[in-house]
Structure 1
Amino acid sequence: MALITKKPRGTEDVLPRDSYRWQFLEQLFRDEARAFGYRELRTPVFEHTNLFERGVGDTTDIVQKEMYTFLTKGGDSITLRPEGTAGACRAFLEHGLHNDPLPIKAYYLTSCYRYEKPQAGRLREFHQFGMECYGTQNPAADAELITAAANIFDRLGLKNISLEINSIGCPKCRADYHKALIAYYTRYRDSLCEDCQSRLERNPMRLLDCKVPHDHEIALNAPMMPDYLCDECKEHFDGVKAYLDANGVTYTVNPTIVRGLDYYTKTVFEFLSGDIGAQSAVCAGGRYDGLIEELGGNPMPALGFAAGIERLLLTMDAQGITIPAPSPCDIYIASMGEEAHKKASDLCNLLRRTGLYAEFDVVGRGLKAQMKYANKIGARFSMVLGDDEIANGIAKLKNMDSGEQRDLPLDGEAFIKEFTAAKLEADFNTNP
């Protein structure tokens, strides 16, 4: 029988056998965020379209080509979030978080949606971990945020990860830079790709980010932003580098980094992997000091980053880094007969209330098949209940690795106590 449908192109299922890998990363993200004083923020999966048009920028590829936008039955234009920052800023403003003690530090674990050609490391539904900080212009905050990302990669044991940083200045010094870019690129106008011809008038800094080989060659000799930084932006960038040096974070200044979103100012950065092909950026971010004001708030400096979970998993796989598998079943209680089956259910429930992983037969297997299943799921202990065990109130507990057996009382409190002791003993013998 043919399936009536399959997953949409550019999406992936996370199966039960693999979900522990995601959970491991998510917990590590949460732990790192907590260490830096960040608390979780959750925003809707869709927002009003004008949020992204104003926040991300109507000249970006994301807004022009990649957003999933639709009209509701009420006629509102709604867009599935293509990134996490705009929604976080909207929530910051809507709920008056600027009235709380600053800085406000928030992190998110979220899904994002972009209509792009799927390839390794690029999906139409993808997932990000992000950290956002509001209310400080101090370069120490930039370095702290970058350090948090670097710490995550260190904790994962990732190698061959390079950090590239740049400053793209403020609106004041970017005005002169834009003039220089336009003057330079005008000489090549007719040979530029169609997108870059449009960017030349509307968003000249995006010319530096073009992936078309011919246009990329032209960009190599283009004016660079660091040469046009005003004194304030130069001092800020020097401060970021000084704090990164103090934190022991290795970096390279790459003057061609501009990022693909219009809201960035001053610091921008990317963590790149050399092991996952063309989609090499596993984490990127920077400052967006004008975004809160652009969305209707009072001027408020802010900065943040997002790391792609799928790309991190690809990098770990490419480097042979394994994620610890979840703990196996603590005990499988097999049973023969209706009363024994009920007792197995009761004992498993008691064990589960203490946080242990216990299973019994819920399929209707025979005893031999039950024990075969216990082996398949890697149960550390097993126990068989039948009429005699129920009558005597005692059953044999078997260590599935050593084969050692011991009597275990079936009375609830005594059963928990004796099984816990047996498990602790086995844990000690395995890891003395």
Structure 2
Amino acid sequence: MSQTLAAVKGMNDLLPGEIEIWQHVEGLARELFGRFGYGEIRTPMVEDTALFVRSVGEETDIVGKEMYTFDDKGGRSLSLRPEGTAPAARAYIEHSILNQEPLTRWFYTGPMFRYERMKTGRYRQFYQVGAEAYGSKEPAQDVEVMDMVAQFLQALGLQDIALNLNSLGDEACRPAYHAKLVEYLKAHIEELCGDCHRRMETNPLRVLDCKNPKCQEVAGKGPNVLEFLCEPCKAHFDDVQRKLTALEIKYVVNPRMVRGLDYYTRTVFEFIASHPALGTASTVGGGGRYDKLVKSLGGPDVPAVGFACGLDRLVLLLKEGTRKFGASPDLFIAVADPGSQDTAFTLASKLRREGLRVDFDTRGGSLKSQMKRSDKSGARFTLVLGEQERTSGEAKLKRMADGSLIPVSLSGLAAAVREHSATEVAQRGNAT
């Protein structure tokens, strides 16, 4: 017997019944981000490996341990994208966008890939929605991005999500903090894991991002990055906080927070959910400023700020609620006898052309089994078509909510379904 094939571990199928939640989240993102003036981009899922080495950082876990990297038939090293910011920056440079507009706002959505230990809401093929803003170094741009995320999460109806905020400084003030951090870490080197011994030499900020509990404990008692900020960075961070307060966006300053990518400067932030469905994987979105990324990839010296939200985790949170997603059929057509099958099939096609969502079981079967399917589908109305209905051109529309019967003509069926659907919606609205 041949072995049954299954999806690759950590790469999941999205099926009807769940995909409607994904479509809702993605549709809401497109609508809301459009209000902020962000246009959608789509970049390839495969990029030159060097793009991520140069941007994300060679010493990060993403590049060192998690990327899906392979040589193609031409001997080029390619990688499935592990995140969306670097590909967007590459596209910004390649298409000379700066020459077309001084301020650029983009958003994207799609799958990313990392070979990592899986846990709740974290998979090897995972999905993100994110945005990037190029051309503005102002604190207002940082806050606009955070405001957009906050409004997005609020529009999804998610509760108990806290904004954590920090500043990592820049090339003027970060070296002094690095030196102090390394001095502190060397004094506690015996308490750190082997990976952090290496990180301490290559990029000490990575120690702060280690998931080892002992390393986290050591890092939590280390020097405070905010105490090392130069005046321009401090002024930038203070203005970010003032603007967040003006927008009534609550936040917590968390000086121990860093992001897992090397390109961040100054502002970094995370939106953290308090919900048992996520367990310890509580970050649903995050980002920050990366003013030197575009230049480091060979482009112009353009400041930028952006974010990404994990769609897998957002969908998990929405599944915990009671809200139903996706549109049910407007009408289910059942047949009372085999002779009505062709007429019902033709009628269903006609009504779909007129804009109705129509369910119809092409297998036929007993009327009882068809009515069970209608009930399961959630259809608002059911029409039973038999010889009498075909001959007279008249039928009865069954309202599934209460079982009442509404006389209709087959020629005016689409209009009748729309009329009675509108009446039903209006009645529900008045009741509430």
In structure 2, the residue matched to 1:129 is 129
3-state SS of 1:172 partner:
coil
3-state SS of 2:356 partner:
coil
Question: Which runs of 5 or more structure 2 residues have no equivalent in the other structure?
Answer: none
Between the aligned residues of both structures, percent identity stands at 43
In structure 1, the residue matched to 2:108 is 108
Query: Retained in 2: the 8 A contact 1:129–1:308?
Result: yes
Map 1:262-411 to 2 at 5 A.
262-275=262-275, 276-317=278-319, 320-336=320-336, 340-411=340-411
Distance across 1 between alignment mates of 2:413 and 2:370: 21
Query: Retained in 1: the 8 A contact 2:331–2:383?
Result: yes
Bigger Cα displacement from structure 2, 353-362 vs 37-46:
353-362
- Specify whether residues 235 and 13 from structure 1 end up closer, same or farther in structure 2 by C-alpha distance, changes over 3 A only: same
Distance across 2 between alignment mates of 1:248 and 1:93: 36
Bigger Cα displacement from structure 2, 293-302 vs 267-276:
267-276
In structure 1, the residue matched to 2:414 is 416
CA offset at residue 339 of structure 1? 5.7
Give deviations 1:25-79, integer Å, cap 9, x for gaps: 1122122211211111111111110000001110101000000001111111110
Give deviations 1:331-350, integer Å, cap 9, x for gaps: 11222556632222222222
In structure 1, the residue matched to 2:26 is 26
Bigger Cα displacement from structure 2, 308-317 vs 27-36:
308-317
In structure 1, the residue matched to 2:426 is 428
Amino acid at match of 2:178: H
CA offset at residue 183 of structure 1? 2.0
Distance across 2 between alignment mates of 1:240 and 1:233: 11
Amino acid at match of 2:176: D
Query: Retained in 1: the 8 A contact 2:105–2:133?
Result: yes
Bigger Cα displacement from structure 2, 253-262 vs 415-424:
415-424
Bigger Cα displacement from structure 2, 338-347 vs 202-211:
338-347
- Specify whether residues 398 and 237 from structure 1 end up closer, same or farther in structure 2 by C-alpha distance, changes over 3 A only: same
Question: Which runs of 5 or more structure 1 residues have no equivalent in the other structure?
Answer: none
Distance across 1 between alignment mates of 2:75 and 2:387: 67
Give deviations 1:63-101, integer Å, cap 9, x for gaps: 000000011111111101111101111111111111232
Query: Retained in 1: the 8 A contact 2:191–2:218?
Result: no
- Specify whether residues 182 and 353 from structure 1 end up closer, same or farther in structure 2 by C-alpha distance, changes over 3 A only: same
3-state SS of 1:112 partner:
strand
Distance across 1 between alignment mates of 2:416 and 2:317: 44
In structure 2, the residue matched to 1:143 is 143
CA offset at residue 3 of structure 1? 5.5
Is 1:66 matched up with 2:83? no
**TM-score (normalizing by structure 1):** 0.94
Amino acid at match of 1:310: D
Give deviations 1:87-120, integer Å, cap 9, x for gaps: 1111111111112323211111111111111111
Map 1:211-250 to 2 at 5 A.
211-250=211-250
Query: Retained in 2: the 8 A contact 1:9–1:118?
Result: no
Distance across 1 between alignment mates of 2:399 and 2:34: 39
Distance across 1 between alignment mates of 2:184 and 2:322: 49
Is 1:256 matched up with 2:256? yes
**TM-score (normalizing by structure 2):** 0.94
Bigger Cα displacement from structure 2, 158-167 vs 84-93:
158-167
Amino acid at match of 2:413: F
Amino acid at match of 2:288: G
Is 1:48 matched up with 2:48? yes
Query: Retained in 1: the 8 A contact 2:47–2:78?
Result: yes
CA offset at residue 191 of structure 1? 4.0
Q: What do you get for the CA RMSD once the two structures are aligned? A: 1.9
Bigger Cα displacement from structure 2, 261-270 vs 112-121:
112-121
